């Protein structure tokens, strides 16, 4: 995008989402939209939704600061067929995401639709798509990737050669904590998303997670984020592999 060296996109953790070009992906379940009341209270009880809702501001503020540090711009997105939204009875996912972005002063990149290759979103030069049609609800992830050093680019994903990964990000952890967020809540948010990804595949992934450092954060922040990752994995009995 003109005027910025980098663009970062907050997008769902869904393994079928493709983000084109050099855009940095930050995987957040449903981009962390939240609506309490109704929906599937067993899968996503209101207490969990409130945890994500109350931390929207520190999470997005931290991601925005990360992008500012690397002369970049943070945007957020929604996507068709979002199960995380459906579990909360959110059928107006675009408007809910737009409202969240407006409230948090984050640009809305647009709504990601079904296509086999990334297509331009409504904001700037960002392109993305979801390769799984809306009428197919079965996921086909082969791994889980947890990023803690300012997200991941498509070119980096290709080099990793992981089987189609769920993408979860914890790069925001250190900065969010420095701004008053609770460490334990950053751990729980991370654990919930990793457990969600594993649960979507009915435990076939064995709670095995690969930790990736994009190298775009100061060492001290990466170390804090890595501690969050380790504690999150311990809480769900998972296995963490560092790259």
Query: Cα–Cα distance between 192 and 184 in angstroms, integer?
Result: 12
pLDDT surpassing 60 at residue 1: no
Cα separation of 208 and 224, whole Å?
21
166-178 b/e (C-beta count within 10 Å ≥ 16 → b) = bbbbbbbbbbbbe
Half-sphere exposure of 102 (CA within 13 A, CB side): 6
Summarize pLDDT for 141-179 with one digit per residue, the tens. Answer: 889 999 999 999 999 999 999 999 999 999 999 999 999
Share of the chain above pLDDT 90, in %: 85
Residue labelled with tokens 């997105």: 77
207 versus 114: the higher-pLDDT residue is 114
**pTM across the whole model:** 0.95
Per-residue pLDDT at 204: 83
> What pLDDT does 124 receive?
62
Nearest one of 61, 50, 154, 152 to 103, comparing CA atoms: 61
The answer for residues whose C-beta is within 8 angstroms of residue 87's C-beta and 6 or more apart is 39, 40, 43, 44
Q: Which residue has the higher pLDDT, 161 or 140?
A: 161
**pLDDT value at residue 154:** 95
């Amino acid at each position: 995008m003109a005027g910025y060296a980098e663009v970062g996109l907050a997008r769902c953790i869904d393994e079928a989402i493709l983000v084109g070009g050099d855009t940095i992906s930050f995987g957040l379940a449903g981009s962390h939209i939240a609506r309490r009341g109704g929906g599937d209270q067993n899968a996503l009880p209101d207490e969990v939704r409130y945890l994500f809702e109350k931390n929207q501001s520190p999470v997005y503020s931290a991601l925005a600061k990360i992008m500012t540090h690397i002369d970049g711009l943070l945007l957020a997105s929604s996507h068709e067929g979002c199960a995380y939204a459906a579990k909360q009875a959110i059928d107006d996912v675009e408007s809910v995401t737009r409202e969240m972005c407006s409230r948090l002063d984050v640009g809305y990149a647009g709504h990601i639709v079904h296509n086999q290759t990334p297509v331009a979103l409504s904001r700037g030069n960002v392109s993305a798509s979801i390769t799984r049609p809306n009428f197919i609800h079965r996921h086909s992830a082969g791994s889980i990737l947890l990023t803690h050093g300012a997200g991941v680019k498509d070119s980096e994903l290709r080099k990793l050669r992981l089987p189609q990964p769920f993408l979860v990000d914890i790069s925001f952890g250190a900065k969010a904590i420095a701004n008053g967020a609770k460490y334990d809540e950053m751990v729980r948010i991370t654990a919930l998303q990793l457990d969600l990804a594993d649960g979507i595949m009915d435990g076939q992934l064995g709670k095995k997670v690969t930790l990736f450092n994009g190298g775009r954060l100061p060492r001290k922040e990466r170390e804090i984020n890595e501690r969050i990752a380790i504690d999150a994995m311990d809480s769900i009995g998972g296995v963490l592999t560092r790259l």
